[in-house]
Amino acid sequence: GVPGIGSNPQRFLRLPRVGEPSEKERSPRVYKMTVFARNAVVAKSRFWKMMRKQNKVKKTNGQILQVKRIFEKNPTTIKNYSILLRFQSRTGVMNVTKEFRDVSLCGAVSQMYSDMAARHHARFLDIDIIGTTVLKPSDVLRPHIKQFLKAHIKFPLLHRVTKKCKKYKTKFLYSRPTTYRMGLQ
């Protein structure tokens, strides 16, 4: 298996899968695909599913050459991701482009699976990721992502509880504490 894999279903690995058709051909074609999965076993299964759909190559007519985990180059900087996917809905097959902000592509894919499950009742097996891209701030289309692209963004702290010294604390109060203060930052 791949080291460092937890049992958390929200964690996804980015595994490139390299496979080729079997030795019946003299010069077999090599296919490379990035698959997002929880572990290497699920990644192999997803790889062969996509190979059957896209390239008409079955598992019996090919072999897997390499499986490795891809790590993010800059895991501390936040990026805008666009994910192009195809999913099976209740009415048919749909193609969708979704935008997410995250520090890693695996985190954005995890957000995408949660979002698709919430909005469209699409399960993990019904979703096929076609492509992913990192968007420049000028290329972002969705307003819920655009709102975080401003230079001077503020997150006000509206409900704050002030800590009292030990000698002023009481067990029981006759009124509720006021936590909402207008204009205080």
pLDDT given for residue 33 in this prediction: 87
| Whole-angstrom distance, CA of residue 34 vs CA of residue 131 | 9
Instruction: Provide the Cα torsion 127, 96, 58, 62; round to 10°.
Output: -100
CB 145, CB 100: distance < 8 Å? yes
Residues 155-170 have pLDDT tens digits of: 877 777 777 888 888 8
Give 103: exposed, middle or buried? Use CB within 10 Å, 0-12, 13-18, 19+: middle
In the numeric block, which tokens belong to residue 175?
A: 């009124």
pLDDT given for residue 25 in this prediction: 64
**Tens digit of pLDDT per residue, the chain (185 long)?**
333 333 333 445 565 656 666 666 667 788 888 899 998 899 899 989 988 988 888 888 888 888 888 888 988 999 999 999 999 998 999 999 999 999 999 999 999 999 999 999 999 999 999 999 999 999 999 999 999 998 888 887 777 777 788 888 888 878 777 777 665 54
pLDDT given for residue 97 in this prediction: 97
| Whole-angstrom distance, CA of residue 123 vs CA of residue 114 | 9
In the numeric block, which tokens belong to residue 24?
A: 């019946």
Own/partner long-range contacts of 153-156 (Cβ < 8 Å, ≥24 apart): 154/185, 156/185
Residue 107 one-letter amino acid: G
Mean pLDDT of the chain: 83
